Chain A
Amino acid sequence: MEDVKELKDVLERVEGKLIAAEKMYSAMNFALWLSVMAFYYLLNGLVTLRGPVSLGYWMVAIALAVPLTIKIWNRLKGLYSTFYPNSRRNGRKIVILVALPWVVGSAVGWWVIPSMTSIGVNADARFGVGFLSFIGISLLGQWLVMTRGRCEFEMVPSFILPLLAIPIVWNMKSGTITWASFVVTTGFSLTILWYLYSAFRAIER
């Protein structure tokens, strides 16, 4: 019986380390996009990034960061398959389900809201609200697909802060996009912090 208990302890420690690895990879993914966003503002202080230059930055940044996200995602897929049966078999379905809220979020945030000229708020506010809606809707959808009712709340700050900030940005007169970006970076930072805390808790259990 003593051997069985020891084996159980070893197995729990192994499981804890795998859970910790999963949390750290998730944190890494958020940190990657956080640095992409922060670097935009760093560059913006040196040279004015407007119109096509700004668009160019995001195109290059997305082209560089997406392969890294895919790499992290593949590691996560492997770890998920350890804890949840059939997750690998359903892998393609999950990728489509995760892509769906990003498509909806992009459409609402970058097309529907900025083109709503009749609602009476200025273009700057519409752009800020659009950005927050894009992040909020996309990450909320991704969280719902990935957790499927499991109690994993680390991702919550990354979408709840942008969604809660929408009414404030809606009534702002200027500087909306900068403030909205700080809301998003705060949400991402809190998510990273929470993921790291969960990772260390999983290791220590």
Chain B
Amino acid sequence: MEPLKELAKNHILGSPIRLGIMLYLLPRGKALFKELLDVLEVTPGNLDSHLKTLEKADYVEIYKVFADRPRTAVRITEKGMEKTGEYLRALKEALNTV
């Protein structure tokens, strides 16, 4: 039951959109806000709210870059990588026990 407990404990990655953001960032390291909008097909307000939750949990860092004009970018943190890894492993283990 340990993996199920682990999954239940993680409210941050329990949301499919937040998990999607983390999975997109994991191999890339960083992404533009616009890029995430296109990939996840969510509204800017919705994405912003999920990113703020992830930022508050220290899973991502939000910063500004200049790419033809000022843009918002998101970078995955070390904690974010570790927690996403833990979550994926727990999810896999939980599914194998079903």
A positions within 8 Å CB-CB of B: 4, 7-8, 11, 14-15, 17-18, 21-22, 74-75, 77-79, 81-83, 85, 88
Contacts and interface: CB of A to CB of B under 8 A. Distances in A.
30 contacts: A4-B95, A4-B98, A7-B95, A11-B92, A15-B92, A17-B27, A18-B26, A18-B27, A21-B27, A74-B29, A75-B27, A75-B29, A77-B81, A78-B29, A78-B78, A79-B26, A81-B82, A81-B85, A82-B81, A82-B84, A82-B85, A82-B89, A83-B85, A85-B85, A85-B86, A85-B89, A88-B78, A88-B81, A88-B82, A88-B85
B76 interface: yes
Classify the interface of chain B: helix, strand, loop or mixed. helix
Interface in B1-58: 23, 26-27, 29
4 cross-chain pairs, A with B, having the tightest CB-CB distances, nearest first: A21-B27, A82-B85, A78-B81, A81-B85
Interface string B51-81: 0000000000000000000000000101001
Nearest to A22: B27
A14 B91 CA distance: 12
Contacts of A21: 26-27
A81 B95 contact: no
Contacts of A77: 81
A81 B81 contact: yes
Contacts of B85: 81-83, 85, 88
